[in-house]
């Protein structure tokens, strides 16, 4: 009897991520020349520089760029560590994606500015969606996807995983995401799962890719993490710990305020070692002001 009653709060707790107010805030990664990347993203992709800060005592600078304000849009947070000019992207990180009404025009604009086009624009294999791929100055790949209109142009982060079903369960249970789309392509020996908080056309999604037979990837030291908002980092952290016990992963920072800033966060690795930071909604908005 005691066991049955003890399970009730746990069930309520595990439902919390689906009731929580969550969205993708930013992706964090390292670059070798901050001004060079800002120039490329603003001139080639049409992003706006939203804020920039230099922390000389910690020997790093960072810049936030995106297609709309941080209060409502997903953005990139670029980190430059003093004196470090290049990084290893590894084999696990895939790409970011940008939705645009005209991929052909965007590619021509990028080419005219000296950008590196790694896949010419055209329909996907066996489909009608028009895409292209571009490499930024640090070697990060951006997929350009043709969409008539979208509230969130910065629309994907693609990561490779070693067990797709395990990853889908992890992001559903630990982060309250829904499986937006799943595609299996046996002819090309891969499967993908799109995970997010709304339909693919409306928001940013995490694109998890499983290549048949590949269970491990190198992480490198370039891509760092995604940040996601929450109304309660403590409750969210408790859920994550439960899910990690079941599916694997590791808590890298217990819930609590960051010294000096007081923004409450918690961070953890998924079963493949990809890092997520959960950030308190109210604290995040205060930080922006």
Binding residue numbers for Zn(2+): 77, 95, 143
How far is C-alpha 20 from the chain's CA centre?
Answer: 19
Instruction: Confirm whether 120 is a catalytic residue.
Output: no
Residue ranges for the known binding site are 77, 95, 143
Catalytic residue of the set 12, 120, 143, 152: 143
Torsion angle defined by CA atoms of residues 143, 148, 153 and 159, in that order, rounded to the nearest 10 degrees = -40
The count of other CB atoms within 10 Å of the CB of residue 261 is 11
Measured CA to CA, the distance from residue 287 to residue 109 in angstroms comes to: 35
Handedness of CA 109, 112, 113, 119 (dihedral sign): positive
The count of other CB atoms within 10 Å of the CB of residue 133 is 17
Handedness of CA 75, 81, 86, 90 (dihedral sign): negative
Question: Would you name the residues annotated as active-site residues?
Answer: 143
């Amino acid at each position: 009897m005691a066991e049955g009653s003890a399970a009730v709060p746990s069930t309520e707790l595990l439902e919390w991520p689906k009731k929580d107010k969550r969205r993708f805030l930013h992706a964090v990664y390292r670059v070798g020349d901050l001004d060079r990347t800002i120039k490329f993203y603003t001139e080639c992709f049409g992003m706006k520089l939203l804020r920039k800060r230099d922390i000389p005592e910690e020997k790093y600078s960072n810049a936030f760029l995106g297609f709309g304000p941080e209060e409502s849009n997903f953005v990139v947070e670029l980190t430059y560590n003093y004196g470090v000019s290049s990084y290893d992207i590894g084999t696990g990180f895939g790409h970011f994606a940008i939705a645009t009404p005209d991929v052909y025009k965007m590619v021509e604009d990028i080419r005219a500015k000296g950008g590196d086009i790694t896949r010419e624009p055209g329909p996907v294999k066996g489909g009608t969606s028009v895409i292209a791929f571009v490499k930024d100055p640090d070697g990060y790949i951006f997929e350009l996807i043709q969409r008539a209109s979208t509230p969130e142009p910065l629309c994907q982060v693609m990561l490779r995983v070693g067990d797709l079903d395990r990853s889908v369960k992890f992001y559903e249970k630990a982060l309250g995401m829904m499986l937006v789309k799943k595609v299996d392509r046996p002819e090309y020996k891969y499967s993908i799962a799109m995970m997010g908080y709304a339909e693919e056309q409306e928001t940013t999604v995490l694109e998890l890719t499983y290549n048949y037979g590949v269970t491990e990837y190198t992480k490198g030291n370039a891509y760092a993490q995604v940040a996601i908002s929450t109304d309660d980092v403590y409750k969210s952290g408790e859920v994550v710990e439960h899910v990690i016990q079941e599916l694997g992963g590791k808590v890298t920072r217990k819930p609590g305020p960051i010294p000096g800033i007081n923004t409450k966060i918690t961070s953890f690795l998924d079963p493949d070692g990809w890092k997520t930071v959960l950030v308190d909604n109210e604290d995040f908005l205060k930080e922006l002001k």
